[in-house]
Amino acid sequence: MANGQVTKVDSIRVQSENDLFGYDSYTYLTWDDFEAVLTMDELTGAVIVSYMMVLFNKLKYGSPERDHGICFVNPIVISPSTRKGKSKNIDDASKGLTDRLSKRKGNDIIFMPYNPGRHWAMVLYTTQSGSNKRVKLNWVNVTCPVQPGSTECGYYMLRFMKEIVEEGIEVLVKDNIGDGKTEYTTAHIDEIREEWSTFVTGFIYR
């Protein structure tokens, strides 16, 4: 389907229906984005963003117990651009991050996917204060599955976020992201690909 439909246009606009990043947000997916998912290649920022839309919808439309006070930061705002001739100014990235955190409405968990160049990482912190005052950050380091190769980092990062969204802060406190696994199986990664594909399919025929 992707081969038959996506190649007919330059890009497909994928809109977040909710307040994902603190403002009306959307991203554009190209054939390169679909090809990366199909071939298990390195994931692009657009794929990361669109899967964050999937996770946000889980929180918004799932059971009330699933709303763990999670705040998402747009990785495209804070990561250096991967496009040729495009470089992100550190001041612009800092301002984008500051603006997002100032609108977080007292969230307890903040996801900040970051790509310094050909590798995805996730910075996460928890905080107890909902005020506008400066608060002390509680950095959380947990044991988790480790990618076996050089191209799985995006999938692993998305899987980490998926498990925190579904299990809440308990999965961090208990230090058990991945439930003791040293690596994720193909089936675990395929869950990410299937959820993403199901979500973006709704935008292909609009």
Cβ proximity of 67 and 59 under 8 Å: yes
The domain that holds 84 is classified in CATH as 3.40.395.10
Whole-number pLDDT of residue 84? 45
Q: Could you tell me the pTM of the whole model?
A: 0.83
Nearest to 11 by CA among 42, 50, 39: 50
Query: Into how many domains does the chain fold?
Result: 1
Supply 5's token pair: 């439909």
Cβ proximity of 123 and 100 under 8 Å: no
- Exposure letters 55-70 (e unless 16+ CB within 10 A, then b): bbbbbeeeeeeeebbb
Whole-number pLDDT of residue 24? 85
pLDDT tens, N- to C-terminus, the chain (206 residues): 666 666 667 888 999 877 899 888 899 998 889 889 988 888 999 999 999 999 998 888 876 666 667 889 999 888 876 544 455 577 888 888 888 888 777 667 888 898 887 788 877 666 655 555 555 666 667 788 999 988 899 999 999 999 988 887 777 776 678 888 899 999 999 999 999 999 998 888 76
* Range(s) of the domain holding residue 174: 2-204
